[in-house]
Amino acid sequence: MSKTILVTGGAGFIGSNYCRYVLQHHPDYRVIVLDALTYAGNLSTLADIQQSVDRTDRFRFYPGRIQDETVVNGLLRSERVDYIVNCAAESHNDRSLLEPGSFIQTDVYGVFILLDAAKRHGIERILHVSTDEVYGTADTGRFTEQSPLAPNTPYAASKAGGELQARAHRVAYGTPVLVTRCGNNFGPYQYPEKLLPFFITRLIDRKKVPLYGTGEQVRDWIFVMDHCSGIDFVLHHGTPGEVYNIGADCERTNLEVTHRLLQLLDRPETLIRPIPDPRGAAHDRRYSVDASRLRSLGWRPTHPFDTALEQTVRWYVEHQTWWREIVARPDYQAFLQRFYGPYLGEDL
């Protein structure tokens, strides 16, 4: 049956890939994007979608912030929306350590505005995309949906705050909200501030890559399209009020991942620059996502890490216009100077 999905944050990394996923896998669905086009949101990220749906009414873009009540309610009055998938967020831990305020605005208050609007407009389902970082660090064992919330950065705490709003809305008003928690994503169109796109783009240019501390921290990686298939599976088959982990059982240390990038791009080890850990005590040592609940319902990731990583590196090599336009911006360069300048100096 034909549905219309509002994807908030659809001009970002996961949101845009989710739009691609829906347009490809649900030929009768419409997708509407609401995005504030912050530093991390780019219309160029949606250019291929705009072209592919040219002359159809399957895709529409609205600029605006999710915490702007007037914009959100106006949109839901003028468009018939069945589902909301919230990918809008401030999403980078390092930035949250510098300036936490915007994280609370978007990741907590913005989620509240979306939940409130979903209730008012009788939205069938609203899925809130969250993160495994709400669990904090997994020194032993794995994160299950029952693990306690113990966030360690302002970003992770804001995401936990958004989730608690979702929980309370379900209990207090019966809002049909579902929550997903996923580990570290990688793939095309990821803003070059996160480990993989940051290192890949710098290594393409033969620049040094700043590895925090010893590089022994473990992240649980998943290709973005597997995350998107998980979101879509939960949206259609999940139970409102429930939380679902999404993961691909792929733990790697940062050092291992960095060495693999050096191999794929044929670059020397001397390009690794270990730096004092800028996250300090807030740096989670290990993430480990137990997604057996979702798997027991029939969902599976289908992209093995090694081939997906190779494909991702190739994508950045072949799409240099997309990321070079971003890294040339003054705000990008200013962030690098502020955050990495003290460590990298002339190698920046």
Q: Tokens standing for 88?
A: 């809008």
Instruction: Give catalytic status of residue 155 as yes or no.
Output: yes
**CB closer to ligand DAU out of 121 and 283:** 283
Q: Which does 67 bind (CB under 5 to 8 A by kind): ligand DAU, ligand NAD, none?
A: ligand NAD
The binder of ligand DAU chosen from 30, 125, 219, 227 (CB under 6 A):
219
Instruction: Report residue 102: phi and psi, to 5°.
Output: -65, -25
Rule CB under 6 A: say whether 290 interacts with ligand DAU. Answer: no
Say how far apart CA 306 and CA 243 lie, in whole Å: 29
- Do the beta carbons of residue 196 and residue 312 sit within 8 Å? yes
**CB closer to ligand DAU out of 67 and 180:** 180
**CB closer to ligand DAU out of 66 and 75:** 66
Q: Which does 210 bind (CB under 5 to 8 A by kind): ligand NAD, ligand DAU, none?
A: ligand DAU
Say how far apart CA 162 and CA 168 lie, in whole Å: 10
- Do the beta carbons of residue 33 and residue 61 sit within 8 Å? yes
**CB closer to ligand NAD out of 208 and 303:** 303
Rule CB under 6 A: say whether 158 interacts with ligand DAU. Answer: no
Instruction: Give catalytic status of residue 29 as yes or no.
Output: no
> Which residues here bind ligand NAD, judged by CB under 6 A?
8-9, 11-15, 35-38, 40-41, 65-67, 87-91, 106, 110, 129, 131, 159, 182, 184-185, 191
| Binders of ligand DAU in range 84-103 (CB under 6 A) | 91-93
DSSP state of 208: -
**CB closer to ligand DAU out of 135 and 299:** 135
Minimum CB distance to ligand DAU, residue 306 (Å):
18
Instruction: Give catalytic status of residue 244 as yes or no.
Output: no
Can you tell me which residue has the tokens 């660090």?
Answer: 137
| Active-site entry in 35, 107, 132, 284 | 132
Continuous H helices in the chain:
13-25, 47-52, 69-78, 93-98, 101-104, 111-120, 154-173, 195-204, 224-237, 254-265, 292-296, 305-318, 320-327, 330-344
Minimum CB distance to ligand DAU, residue 265 (Å):
16
The binder of ligand DAU chosen from 143, 212, 322, 323 (CB under 6 A):
212
Task: For residue 48, give the amino acid letter.
Answer: D
| Active-site entry in 90, 133, 193, 220 | 133
Q: Which residues lie closer than 8 Å to 31 by C-beta, 6 or more apart?
A: 4, 5, 7, 10, 19, 22, 23, 58, 59, 60
Q: Tokens standing for 284?
A: 């989670």
Which residues make up the interface to ligand DAU (CB under 6 A)?
A: 91-93, 131-133, 183-184, 194-195, 198, 210-212, 217, 219, 254, 287
